[in-house]
Amino acid sequence: MVAKLIDGKAMAEKQRALLVEEVRGFEKATGRPPGIAVLRAGEDPASRIYVASKKRTAQSLGLNSWEHVLPEQVTQSELLGLIERLNGEEEVDGILVQLPLPKHLDTHAVLRAILPQKDVDGFHPMNAGSLFQGMPTLVPCTPLGVMKMLEEIGCGVAGKRAVVIGRSNIVGRPMAALLLNASASVVLCHSKSDVRAETLRADIVIAAVGVAGLVRGDWIREGAIVIDVGMNRGEGGKLCGDVAFEEVSQKAAWLTPVPGGVGPMTIAMLMHNTVQAAKLRCKR
Ligand code: NAP
């Protein structure tokens, strides 16, 4: 079997086209576009690129966006003060703090300071708790994007055996919760798991590990769907995923490429969350 490619770029483009309509509708109804504030502390090169890309996408959709760049030495109380101010600003519907933060800052406390209704990354414990209870809420963007991708290829997950590799709060755990909420049978693997024993029985494999080429062709059942969330620097600095692409493409029915798979959908879902947050806030 040779896998069909799941084209995340094209799917993200489709999502963005749908969002432009929603943004127009919101602006017509309220007199202003939805708005997102992005906070960045320090000069981490990857964070600069991610924030610039989020800002560009927001602007291209007609959203308001504000970038707050804080010095590397910013104190916890200065950062919390800014979040408190943004929590109170009417035109700010979404607040995103770009991670990782400089080491002297308490990331959990910072994320908890964001008003849950404006937590467009879905990392606040209240939103994470709602997700785990199967309640509607703001959901982390990467796993939300993966669910949209599965939907787009016509994969109904109910009753399927899904294996998620990686248990981070950003990807693995919310991914497992979303699949469970959609009635998949879910196994959540981590560094102490016998991962191959689990993936060999899986209909859907989602790799979010951060180890280039970890998932090999002989880990995958013929005809499975494989989603590669990993973004790693391989030989010569080349961007590559957690899945050994050539090998797995001989076994899987569907496979995401890296780049051009999950990455573009993540940013599209951030915009989606911002528009949903704006709509929910204006309903109050
Ligand atoms: P993370 O916080 O470092 O978590 C990695 C997880 O992988 C941990 O749960 C760890 O297990 C597990 N793990 C490590 N080695 C393993 C192994 N050999 N076998 C099984 N599990 C193993 O990473 P993350 O933030 O979730 O990110 C994961 C990857 O996704 C990275 O490459 C990141 O760049 C990428 N990513 C991509 C996007 C996107 O938009 N495409 C978004 C976010 C992240 P333990 O818990 O036991 O340590």
Place of tokens 């989602």: 206
- pLDDT value at position 24? 97
Instruction: Name which residue leads in pLDDT, 62 or 236.
Output: 62
d(CA 122, CA 170): 9
Q: Using alpha carbons only, how large is the chain's radius of gyration in Å?
A: 19
Catalytic residue flag (residue 59)? no
Is the model's pLDDT at 117 over the cut of 70? yes
Mean pLDDT (the chain) is: 97
For residue 232 and ligand 1, the question of a CB distance below 6 A is answered with yes
- pLDDT value at position 77? 98
Average pLDDT over residues 56-83: 97
For residue 230 and ligand 1, the question of a CB distance below 6 A is answered with yes
d(CA 203, CA 68): 43
Catalytic residue flag (residue 238)? no
Average pLDDT over residues 228-236: 92
CA of 211 to the centre of ligand 1 (A): 8
Average pLDDT over residues 241-247: 98
| Exposure letters 5-42 (e unless 16+ CB within 10 A, then b) | ebbbeebbeebbeebeebbeebbeeeeebbbbbbbbbb
Contact between residue 41 and residue 99 where contact means Cβ atoms under 8 Å apart? no
- pLDDT value at position 195? 98
Nearest atom in ligand 1 to 265's CA? 40
